[in-house]
Structure 1
């Protein structure tokens, strides 16, 4: 394996210098502190600056469409992570924008897409319902045609970024008597429509998401994406992106798996813990001298490296599960000071392992639970068939 420094051509090196200068100017300590306090994973100033610099358009479009080439795209992705740029709302916006481009009318594309690339239009995902869990095809949010428009009633959970967005990519049920995959219709609903209420929810890791209520929300038919009751076809592309099952290019410049952002934080945390246990105490000893500490740290590092090498859905499961498994060990080897959060006096590793511990459970839920993805791997990658949840049959004579 070659660990030597990658040598960039002059044009790509100039681009790297440009990106680093941009990010260091806009992703300041104040931005990171404010984002941590709000839990938004979004900063409007940074987002608009990216739009004004042409970065949003260049990231969205392929090279043949005027976007970045493969190397510059990879540079941008890696540097955004290293600078901890707030990015989640751009991620959902880009997913929805591709559906608008594919399924929206020319008028809707003209209304939405210019603002997407300038940064003024942000979009979020209206999938999960309070009682629906990961099976989004069981949507009970109803859209009913009343002669000149659609009337929508229902509610959606975990609509992250709704309070910073202009539109929501909304799954609705337009035929409750049809099979669940034949009853869905997708809409791009303006979030300033009368009858919409957005309520913030804080997750255990401090992030903000939302529950959104729809009460007799009137939506013009031009905001419909795809055919009536044909919403599953509209959803297939966005779900593939969110699940991390899109095809990787052979040049090796794509992430091995989705959730590499979370994996990078786990790797950074392992490094911080390793540094902490390697420091000498006033007595001249190091925590790492204890063989159990060395073993548990080594095991965490090995599992972390293995998870970052797993591809596609395998990697998604491996990273999230490894975060859950290693976080308690990392905190335990540091002792009680590991329970102190970031920027707290006395925190053993500046709160890195404490945050990893709180973040890990959420990473096994994003876009579907680990159990859902394990079933998908079993069915689609290993060919094991669908799980049978029916009650066990009684034995003869019982």
Structure 2
């Protein structure tokens, strides 16, 4: 494995500096404060500025079509992460765009993609149902053909970003009596359609997600992606991207695993805690000189480094599980001040461990629970059989 640094050309170094100048101007402390207060993980002004500056198109377009090359894509990703750009709505958009390109009609592509590139149009995911858990194939949201339209009824949970998006990438059941996985059809549904209601839900970490109700929503057939009852094939690409089940690029210019963004925040919190316990207190003593503190901090650092080094879907599990395991340790190391939220804790640890503690359980649920990903590893990588959940006799 080659751990050498990438030597940037003069042009690439200039690109990095322009990215930093742009983000320094637009991603301010006020943007980050407002994002934490709303839980939206999205800032429209920042997003539209990225579109106007060509950053969104550069990130999403193929290199042959005017997009960034691999080095500049990586530079842009790392700088966004360093500045803590509110990102989740752009993430769901980027997951869906390849399916629109591949399965959408020319008219639909022309309607959607230009607005994606300039920031006006964002896309969210309509998968999970209130009683469906992580198995999206148990879809009960119905789409019934009515002439040139479809009429959709049902509900979806955890449609994060729906209140900031123009379209939802929606999985529906178009043949209730059909065989599993061959009775699903995908649509890109305009969220302005009559009959759609979006209700916010705030999670324990303060983020906002949504439950979306569809009541007699009429959608023209041109918003269908792929074949009728062929939705599972349309969904596979976005699902694999979200799950991190993908090939590793030979140039190494990509995240080791799908949860690297979350892991980077965990690493920042660990660094802040280490700096805090290494500073002398009012009595001149450092908490780090306590062997118990040093042991627990060292163990947390070792766990974190191992998780950040795990590739692909392994890293997705390792990072989420490690966040759950070390967040309580970090709070114990710091003592009572660790329970204070960000603003109140600025004098000590900056509130990072408190937020990490609340965020960690959610990171084991995003895109499917840790149990789902462990089954993916068992079946698709280790070649084991499907789990048998029947009760023992």
TM, length-normalised to structure 2 = 0.98
| Cα distance, 1:64 vs structure 2 | 2.0
State the Cα deviation string for residues 356-379 of structure 1 (Å, max 9, x = none).
000000000000000000011011
| Cα distance, 1:218 vs structure 2 | 0.5
| Structure-1 separation of matches of 2:280 and 2:44 | 43
CA pair 2-225 structure 1, distance change in 2 beyond 3 A:
closer
| Cα distance, 1:6 vs structure 2 | 4.8
State the Cα deviation string for residues 309-341 of structure 1 (Å, max 9, x = none).
000000000000000000000000110110001
In structure 2, the gaps of 5 or more residues are none
What is residue 161 of structure 1 aligned with on the other side?
A: 161
Conserved 8 A contact 2:188-2:224: yes
Conserved 8 A contact 2:320-2:364: yes
- Matched residue SS, 2:181: helix
- Matched residue SS, 1:137: helix
State the Cα deviation string for residues 19-70 of structure 1 (Å, max 9, x = none).
0000001101111111111111111111111111111111112222221111
| Structure-1 separation of matches of 2:346 and 2:92 | 37
State the Cα deviation string for residues 100-157 of structure 1 (Å, max 9, x = none).
1111111111111110101001110000000000000000000011223111000000
What is residue 304 of structure 2 aligned with on the other side?
A: 304
| Cα distance, 1:4 vs structure 2 | 7.3
Conserved 8 A contact 2:182-2:232: yes
Conserved 8 A contact 1:341-1:347: no
| Structure-2 separation of matches of 1:38 and 1:180 | 39
What is residue 55 of structure 1 aligned with on the other side?
A: 55
| Structure-2 separation of matches of 1:13 and 1:370 | 39
State the Cα deviation string for residues 240-268 of structure 1 (Å, max 9, x = none).
10001121211111100001110001001
What is residue 144 of structure 1 aligned with on the other side?
A: 144
Conserved 8 A contact 2:337-2:345: no
CA pair 52-176 structure 1, distance change in 2 beyond 3 A:
same
Which one is further off, 343-352 or 133-142? 343-352
In structure 1, the gaps of 5 or more residues are 394-398
Matched, 1:177 2:148: no
What is residue 322 of structure 1 aligned with on the other side?
A: 322
| Structure-2 separation of matches of 1:378 and 1:2 | 29
| Cα distance, 1:5 vs structure 2 | 6.0
Superposed structure 1 runs of 4+ greater than 2 Å apart = 1-7, 345-348
- Matched residue SS, 1:212: strand
What is residue 69 of structure 2 aligned with on the other side?
A: 69
Conserved 8 A contact 2:345-2:351: no
What is residue 102 of structure 1 aligned with on the other side?
A: 102
What is residue 216 of structure 1 aligned with on the other side?
A: 216
| Structure-2 separation of matches of 1:122 and 1:209 | 15
| Structure-2 separation of matches of 1:114 and 1:88 | 20
| Structure-2 separation of matches of 1:251 and 1:165 | 34
What is residue 349 of structure 1 aligned with on the other side?
A: 349
CA pair 177-253 structure 1, distance change in 2 beyond 3 A:
same
What is residue 368 of structure 1 aligned with on the other side?
A: 368
| Structure-2 separation of matches of 1:154 and 1:6 | 50
The 5-angstrom pairing of residues 215-234 of structure 1 reads: 215-234=215-234
State the Cα deviation string for residues 161-214 of structure 1 (Å, max 9, x = none).
000011000000000101220110000100000000000000111100000000
Which one is further off, 267-276 or 4-13? 4-13
- Matched residue SS, 1:108: helix
What is residue 30 of structure 1 aligned with on the other side?
A: 30
Aligned residues: 393
| Cα distance, 1:9 vs structure 2 | 1.2
- Matched residue SS, 2:137: helix
Conserved 8 A contact 2:338-2:345: no
| Cα distance, 1:391 vs structure 2 | 2.1
| Structure-2 separation of matches of 1:343 and 1:275 | 18
- Matched residue SS, 1:276: helix
